[in-house]
Amino acid sequence: MINQFSIDIPQSTLDDLQHRLDHARIPAALPGDDWDTGVPVGWLTELVDYWRTEYDWRSVEKQLNEFPQYTTEIDGQVIHFLHVRSAEPDALPLVLTHGWPGSFVEFIDLIGPLTDPSSYGGSAADAFHVVIPSLPGFGFSSPITSSGWTAERVGRTWAELMNRLGYDRYGVQGGDIGASVSPEVGRAARDHVVGVHLNGPGPIPPYPLPAEEFAELTPLEQDRVARINAFMQEEFGYIAIQSTRPQALAYGLVDSPVGQLAWIMDKFREWTHPRTTLPDAIIDRDKLLTNVMIYWLTGTAGSAAYVGYAQQQAWGATPANSGVPTAAIVFAHDVGIRRYTERENTITRWTDVDHGGHFAALEEPELLLADVREFFRDLR
């Protein structure tokens, strides 16, 4: 059964948020108050002030509810999703999958150009019907009801979702966790998935990479390996916490909106490009806050961490290649390396871009859109 869904946050919940923001306890700044020790107090305080005095959730809620939303139960889990059909009769269905610390709202500005390209300077022949699910345990696909929500299981769930929607042939696209889930949809439904499009694809090479293997890489690939090494040494802490103690972390993030904001903004600063530019100079403040609001209003900091990082995976096992044509676009921040991605995917298109960051749909929507259109053009 598929049920219509509309976001309707109780006013009491918004009043509680306002109270917490008005009375937030901000920590003293550490020496230097810069990003080396985390989110700077000076910068975050200004963003908190904007959140509590200028950000308008009701306006955003109204905008989000302009898109058809639904829920359905699959494998014991309620799944929330947007389903926007194109007016073009030959439109290709396309599943868009977000990651962490993202949400379905990443793709909102792409819905119009994807479903109605002729109104945005494109060709009607490139139209898509768009399906945007929230990952289990994320946002309105909560609360999570069981463990074991690996990328493979989510892929099977998305395949069942598309079956319920009556789609026999469709494409998939995703980044971050979505870049792990999307190929799994192809493996689960290889007779139905016409193409897989990824931004920032995995897997990453072995860590640490043997010297002789490193020497065989191109200079661009060596740079990406070097940045992987730096990430493992300087940024891995959040994964260590979320993958081992997601429940302990959740108490603070679900109780403190400022804590939730800081936890997510730390990643937006590290993963947007260029890193030296503040995240709200790259992505609109209201969009950043709306993404945070999805986590705050649904209290899903713990379940999102649990699903994203705490599931046991078959380390060292290479998934079977589905044979489905797969495209990858790698923006400047990301570290995808073709020779490793090819071990488990049939790569038919690979694009390296010298700018742009991890949150492709928010940072480089036009480039992402163009690459998606061109890839699927010959697969329809």
Catalytic residue, chosen from 129, 273, 333, 358, is 358
**Which of 176, 286, 334, 371 does the annotation list as catalytic?**
176
SS3 content of the chain, % helix, strand, coil (to 5): 50, 15, 35
Cβ proximity of 305 and 146 under 8 Å: no
176 tagged catalytic: yes
* Cα 33 to Cα 36: distance, rounded to the nearest angstrom: 8
The three-class DSSP label of residue 319 is: coil
Q: How far apart are CA 14 and CA 224, in angstroms?
A: 42
**Is 135 within 8 Å of 141 (Cβ atoms)?**
yes
**Taking Cα atoms as reference points, which of 348, 353, 354, 335 lies closest to residue 374?**
348
Q: DSSP characters for 171-209?
A: EEEEETHHHHHHHHHHHH-TTTEEEEEEES--PPPPSSP
φ/ψ bin of 259: left (φ > 0), alpha (ψ from -120 to 50), beta (otherwise)? alpha
120 given a catalytic annotation:
no
Q: From the candidates 309, 333, 334, 371, which is the catalytic residue?
A: 309
> Helices in 299-380 by DSSP H: which ranges?
301-309, 338-341, 360-363, 365-377
**Virtual torsion, Cα 292, 297, 302, 303, nearest 10 deg:** -100
Please choose, from the candidates 127, 118, 137, 126, the residue with its C-alpha nearest in 3D space to the C-alpha of residue 84. 127
75 catalytic? Reply is no
Active site residues: 176, 309, 358
